[in-house]
Chains A and B, each alone.
Chain A
Amino acid sequence: MMMMEGVALKFPPLKLFNPNFPTSPATTVTPSLARFALRSFSSSSSSCSASLPISATAGKEADSALGTLSLGHLTRPDFPILHQEVNGSKLVYLDNAATSQKPHQVLKALQSYYAGYNSNVHRGIHYLSAKATDQYELARKKVADFINAEESQEIVFTRNATEAINLVAYSWGISNLKPGDEVLLTVAEHHSAIVPWQLVAQRTGAVLRFVDLDENEVPEVEKLRESISRKTKLVVVHHVSNVLASFLPIKHIARWVHDVGGKILVDACQSVPHIVVDVQELDADFLVASSHKMCGPTGIGFLYAKSDILSAMPPFLGGGEMISDVFLDHSTYADPPSRFEAGTPAIGEAIGLGAAIDYLQGIGMQKIHDYETELANYLYESLSTIPNVRIYGPRPSEKVKRAALCSFNVEDVHPTDLATLLDQQHGVAIRSGHHCAQPLHRYLGVNASARASLHFYNTKDDVDDFINALSETVSFLNSFK
């Protein structure tokens, strides 16, 4: 309540446009009505779709009537953590590629689970266990629907995307890769997409091949295509780069690798939270994502794999839940997905992920994508005004879309110094370092970079605050040279 009032007081009187009466004049509303409108947006429970305030769905006409009430402004009230001060300044959270914030619907779902029906799943027959199992499996179905998997059984819950990739590496990789087989990656892959394959390559004798970037600082897609041969058993690629902000044409790459009998593993950590991802359209064999990057809790992620592939894979971790019968000298294993979910899963967290998916679906992933494209362009153009700045990845254009993140360096200024002062003096949270992409940074010829990454609850005001703070910080640091 306090938070809502605080938010409402910040807004000028709202003008809401009612699409049911397109010719009616815009109505000025009082702060109390604004609070009602905002509250009604955020009042959805985990089991029903949220509906945006009518203003947000009414298109350009309504947007102009609303002025600056963007998707970011509309959704911010749902994220309690954003409304605080850090180090004496308003928090400006721009580290979403590292982890996203959680709406109170997700927090409520977690609370409800632990307060109301926490119980171990699949085994018990009492009421609480049955309810927990239902909700856990419902969360699995929500994930499946979210990415348009054919069935829920194609979703394996893991701890995160890293564990999901390791699952594929140790289960599918160990049993399918032979000496001389090739695994194709790019230099821009996240460490979690590289290291498991290094470990498996050591054990199997497979060869890793890495595709470089082109002149636009995007993985060279044509070279990737040319590198696919009969020896290529697997292509491991990101959908959206967490450093370059670039998109890869997964659908085309999948077709090329399928033509030679290989498979594709898509690291969708930076795409699932931000754009529509349809595994049928992409024709991905494996796809991984983490809940904590898509407004869900930490401790849960998932692997999507086509059911025929999953059925043929041996277990990864052994233990309870993934077995059928256990004898002293051998065991038989459950069908997927249970075969790959050893031990008690992160039940509450899976349910929290389900609530996050409900929240995102309530907004609409296409709407999120459109808004974030606008933010991406604004961030890129604004950052470009800083003198001596170097932004990595492609320049945005009509043809080339960027994700709403920028990794950058300012000449003669260490990104860690920037990030330290941005946090300390301005409450702006960005990341500095190699962003789990050391090969990429080495390729770009730098040791580290700073990164500002946005999500749909960020606004252009956040970008403005960041740019102003960055400008001040650079001036301050340069004054000591």
Chain B
Amino acid sequence: MISTSFNQPHLRFPSLTHEKNTNHLRPNRNRFIPRIRIPPNSSLECNCRRENRFSDPGRQGNNKRPDLSVRYATAECLTAAISEPGLLGDRLRVLVSEFGSLTEPLDRVRRLLDYAGRLPPFDESSRVESNRVGGCTTQVWLEVELDEEGNARFRADSDSEITKGFISCLVWLLDGAAPEEVAAVEAEDLEVMNVGFNGRTPSRVKTWHNVLAAMQKRALALSNKKKRKMKKKPLIVPPILPLIVAAEALAGNLPNSQVVDHI
């Protein structure tokens, strides 16, 4: 059984009314931070000197790797871009393990709300229609770019705190990964993140499925465009091209009728 420090009984459970100032946990993140090389099979736990509420206080200052079969992410590690193949897989396992260990639905919500607070600020000017992710009950904005190495970089935001939590996890998971790696993540892999009693509340599932699908679609589109431009190769048809029914595609304008402005 995979356990995390979170399950260890001697740790205090984060309370509902925790300190409001979580700035010390917010990553100081630029858009394109240098990739942090993390050796294979190493713990994703950084030698983080800052206090992290999910770390074991008994081991603070002790650099010994905990005898755990899972490595949990710390605040600073959440900021580190993926630098090596296989790291996305590691992060996925961490995420699944972390949320999978939270058997109480409220704990998953708390965790998501905490991660929501760690999402980097999103420019107000980027909250535009072209950045919207369709099909969500909440508003979600997503910006995708490729860095110099052709890896996908994501920035996202939402008007819902729980959705921001989902987004925060997704960005942590996928930021800096190759577009093909991004496309390979299956929504089912992340089911444990769902909130709700049985974890399958359709509208919630739909929201972050849509966000994941949008991240995949846009990353692949950028990658294909870049490849076409640079290498003039035939268009690579991505294996996964999620269907997002764009409202715009189906919206009917009224070419023959004139909707009079509001009376």
- Which positions in A face B, CB cutoff 8 Å? 86-88, 179, 187, 198-199, 201-203, 205-212, 220, 223-224, 227, 413-414, 416-417, 420-421, 423-425, 432-433, 443, 447-448, 476-477, 479-481
Q: Are A424 and B137 in contact (CB under 8 A)?
A: no
State the majority secondary structure of interface residues on A: mixed
A410 → B minimal CB distance (Å): 12
A207–B255 CA distance with the chains assembled, in angstroms: 11
Given A424-B105, A448-B138, A477-B113, are A211 and B252 neighbors across the interface (CB < 8 Å)? Answer: no
B203 / chain A contacts, CB cutoff of 8 Å: 416
CB of A423 within 8 A of CB of B196, answer yes
| Given contact pairs A86-B197, A198-B252, A480-B116, A227 touches B263 in the complex (Cβ within 8 A) | yes
When chains A and B are docked, how far (Å) is the Cα of A400 from the Cα of B67? 68
* Interface majority SS (helix, strand, loop, mixed), chain B: loop
Known interface pairs A202-B252, A205-B257, A207-B259; A420-B195 also in contact (CB < 8 Å) = yes
CA distance A176 to B111 in the complex (A): 58
Interface centre among A87, A224, A432, A479 (most CB of B within 10 A): A479
Cα of A223 to Cα of B105 in the assembled complex, Å: 50
Beta-carbon contact of B263 and A421 below 8 Å: no
Shortest beta-carbon distance, A432 to chain B, in Å? 7
In the assembled complex, 23 residue pairs joining A and B whose CB atoms fall closer than 8 Å, in A order, are: A187-B262, A202-B257, A207-B258, A208-B260, A210-B260, A212-B263, A224-B263, A413-B161, A416-B162, A416-B163, A416-B203, A417-B160, A420-B196, A421-B109, A423-B201, A424-B105, A424-B109, A424-B196, A424-B197, A432-B137, A433-B137, A479-B20, A480-B117
Distance in Å from the Cβ of A399 to the closest Cβ of chain B? 24
Q: Which residues of B contact A (CB under 8 A)?
A: 16-18, 20, 105-106, 109, 113-114, 116-117, 137-139, 159-163, 195-197, 201, 203-204, 252, 254-260, 262-263
Task: Select A424's contact among B106, B160, B163, B256, beta carbons within 8 Å.
Answer: B106
Q: Which of A88, A203, A420 counts the most chain B CB atoms within 10 A?
A: A420
Residues of A near B17 (CB, < 8 A) are 479
Residues A201 and B256 in contact, CB atoms below 8 Å apart:
yes
Complex contact A87–B263 (CB within 8 A): no
- Contact present for B254 and A480 (CB under 8 Å): no
CB distance from A99 to the nearest CB of B (A): 16
- The answer to whether A201 touches B254 (Cβ under 8 A) is yes
User: Across the interface, which residues of A come within 8 angstroms of B109, CB to CB?
Assistant: 420-421, 424
Q: What CA separation (Å) do A209 and B16 show in the bound complex?
A: 50
Taking a contact as CB atoms under 8 Å apart, the answer to whether A211 and B204 are in contact is no
Q: Is the CB of B16 within 8 A of A476?
A: yes
Checking A201, A447, A479 against B16 with a beta-carbon cut-off of 8 angstroms, the contacting residue is A479
Which residues of A lie under 8 Å from residue B161 when comparing CB positions? 413-414, 417, 477, 480
Is the pair B257, A201 in contact by a Cβ cutoff of 8 Å? yes
Q: Are B197 and A208 in contact (CB under 8 A)?
A: no
| Complex Cα–Cα for A200 and B124 (A) | 39
* A206 and B138 within 8 A (CB): no
List, in ascending order, chain B residues with CB within 8 A of A414's CB.
138, 159-163
B256 touches A202 (CB 8 A): yes
Q: Is the CB of A420 within 8 A of B256?
A: no
Asked whether, in the complex, the Cβ of B257 is within 8 Å of the Cβ of A211, the reply is no
| Contacting residues, chain A, for B116 (C-beta < 8 A) | 480
What is the CA–CA distance of A66 and B109 in the complex, to the nearest angstrom? 43
Known: A202-B252, A202-B257, A205-B257. A479 touches B18 (CB 8 A): yes
Chain B residues with Cβ under 8 A from A86's Cβ?
A: 197
Q: Chain A contacts of B163 at CB under 8 A?
A: 414, 416
Q: Which residues of the other chain, A, contact B117 by a CB distance below 8 angstroms? A: 480
Q: How far is the CA of A481 from the CA of B18 in the complex (A)?
A: 10
